Structure 1
Amino acid sequence: MSADLPDDLARLWRVHRGSRLGRPAALDVAIVVRTAVELADRDGLPGATLPKLAAELGVTPMSLYRHVGSKDELLTLMGDAGFGPPLEYEPPLGDWRDLLRRWAMAQWAIHRRRPWLAQLPISGPPRGPHLVGWLDAGLRALRDTGLDPAAALGVLSVVGGYVRHADLLAQQLAAGWLADGAAQPQHEQNYGRQMSALIDPHRFPDAAALFASGLFESPPPTDDPTGDDFEFGLELILDGVAVAVAG
């Protein structure tokens, strides 16, 4: 059966091909991918290019193609390795909403620890063992909801997509605050004051009311505004899933 697998899928699942005789190779797919993930953790995705990876490993860039077929394949391998094994649910296991919340929060924590994951291109559905494991864990959360397979897969696509988008948004906002030279509270105050000065209440009555409310002048105190925003949005999505489940 393994002979029928495409080479990239065999490498992704670490399906061994060929003879096991002789001395083990000094370099293999696992070492290449682990090193690439370490570079991305340290320097971001631009730090994990094939030339930089080759330099880190002390080999020529061309020699890496014996272990990864292309730059795109390397990114796929990194994405699967970067997520790592899925969470294991702790009892009780009967509440789908709690399980799905844990699933999303666990992915959110990984994204915040490894921001480069959200910057990877989406090249198709989950194909690697770790991402398939996350899919399996998500389906387990929805097992007793009565949703059919298509609906369950749709729910996981929406929730997983929200996690990814929320992380990208948080990264870009943080970069904007940094470029502006202001911390988030000061940035929000500046934004609110500037918009209040510009917005005509006759043209944009509801937006004008929002900026006149003082929301941006005195943001609600929080230790983690990004996390609070994420959890608020996640609960809205779970409310929508609950409607689908009830239906």
Structure 2
Amino acid sequence: MDEAAVPAELARLWRISSESRLGRPAKLDVGQVVDAAVALADREGLAAATLPRVAESLGVTKMSLYRHVGSKDELLALMQDAAAGPVPSSLDGTGPWRERLRLWAGEQRALFTRHPWLATAPVSGPPQGPNLIGWFDAALRALRTTGLDWGAKVGTIMLVGEYVRANAQLTQGLEAGRSDTGKDQAAAEQAYGRAMAALVSPERFPDAAALFASAAFEDTGADTAQADFDFGLDLILDGVAAAIGR
């Protein structure tokens, strides 16, 4: 590989060192900077992972970080790839595409649970780092036997990935909204349904009134978040199956 042809930000993302091994070892490296930033984001949210806060947590000056991270945007890219981590062993191997893609989506959902800020971090382009490429490769492998062309495979992965991401954002929002009530999602949905049933008149909102008058919000089950996730994912996978069938 011609390392000279690799842009500096990609070299740091892939941990390709351009420094001489001679002389005193550096007190700080890219990995330490990124680990500190991810730890801050995990504890306090993405907004906390600023260059000054990262520098403070490492006991160095902000300017010293620029030797390892070129900009705030680059730090975010490094954080996203580091937080994604290596692909779980559960995604190794091959098998029925629907089973494998469902498993991939579930592992992505678990990733957003471990690092909630990942679900709301801005996306500025396709995956570029080794860990995110690993996740992308695992999804492509899940679709290997489908007969879909490359464009359809990439489109499918984007659709499923964005669904998981949006679901994680929704889940986080709902959890934050009921944090002061002490209710779980099932209880919150029941309270919502009862309140709307008292307010929504069939004359003004006939179909919404019929919904709230039904038992839809009373018999939701214990883990409504999982049920909602599975329902939406199944709809998407049904569409993928139809595309494969064509």
Query: Per the shorter chain, which TM-score range?
Result: over 0.9
**Contact (CA 8 Å) 2:55, 2:65: kept in 1 or not?**
yes
Quote the residue 1:234 is aligned against.
Answer: 233
Quote the residue 1:205 is aligned against.
Answer: 206
How high is the TM-score relative to the length of structure 1? 0.93
Where 1:85 maps in the other structure, the secondary structure is coil
One-letter code of the match for 1:97?
A: R
Where 2:201 maps in the other structure, the secondary structure is coil
One-letter code of the match for 2:234?
A: E
| Structure 2: gaps (5+ residues) | none
Quote the residue 2:141 is aligned against.
Answer: 140
What pairs up with 1:113-132 in 2 under 5 angstroms?
Answer: 113-132=114-133
Q: Distance in 2 between matches of 1:91 and 1:123?
A: 28
Return the offset for 1:180.
4.9
**Contact (CA 8 Å) 1:87, 1:103: kept in 2 or not?**
no
Q: Distance in 2 between matches of 1:111 and 1:92?
A: 23
**Contact (CA 8 Å) 2:30, 2:68: kept in 1 or not?**
yes
Quote the residue 2:245 is aligned against.
Answer: 246
Q: Distance in 2 between matches of 1:107 and 1:22?
A: 42
Identity %: 58
Quote the residue 2:64 is aligned against.
Answer: 63
What pairs up with 1:30-109 in 2 under 5 angstroms?
Answer: 30-89=31-90, 93-109=94-110
Q: Distance in 1 between matches of 2:196 and 2:112?
A: 32
Quote the residue 2:178 is aligned against.
Answer: 177
Return the offset for 1:194.
2.4
Where 2:172 maps in the other structure, the secondary structure is helix
Where 2:68 maps in the other structure, the secondary structure is coil
Q: Distance in 1 between matches of 2:102 and 2:135?
A: 13
**Contact (CA 8 Å) 2:186, 2:220: kept in 1 or not?**
no
Q: What is the root-mean-square deviation of aligned Cα atoms in Å?
A: 1.7
- 1:101-150 CA distance string (max 9 Å, x none): 11111111111111011121111110111001111110000011000000
Quote the residue 2:10 is aligned against.
Answer: 9
Quote the residue 1:189 is aligned against.
Answer: 190
Q: Distance in 2 between matches of 1:132 and 1:90?
A: 14
Q: Distance in 1 between matches of 2:89 and 2:150?
A: 21
**Contact (CA 8 Å) 2:91, 2:100: kept in 1 or not?**
no
Quote the residue 2:221 is aligned against.
Answer: 221
- 1:173-213 CA distance string (max 9 Å, x none): 11111145544334223321222222221332211110000
Say whether 1:155 aligns with 2:134.
Answer: no
Q: Distance in 2 between matches of 1:24 and 1:43?
A: 32
**Contact (CA 8 Å) 1:80, 1:131: kept in 2 or not?**
yes
| Structure 1: gaps (5+ residues) | none
When residues 75 and 92 of structure 1 are mapped into structure 2, their CA distance, relative to the original with a 3 A threshold, is closer
One-letter code of the match for 1:240?
A: G
How high is the TM-score relative to the length of structure 2? 0.94
One-letter code of the match for 1:158?
A: L
One-letter code of the match for 1:214?
A: A
**Contact (CA 8 Å) 1:87, 1:137: kept in 2 or not?**
no
Between the two proteins, the alignment pairs up a number of residues equal to 245
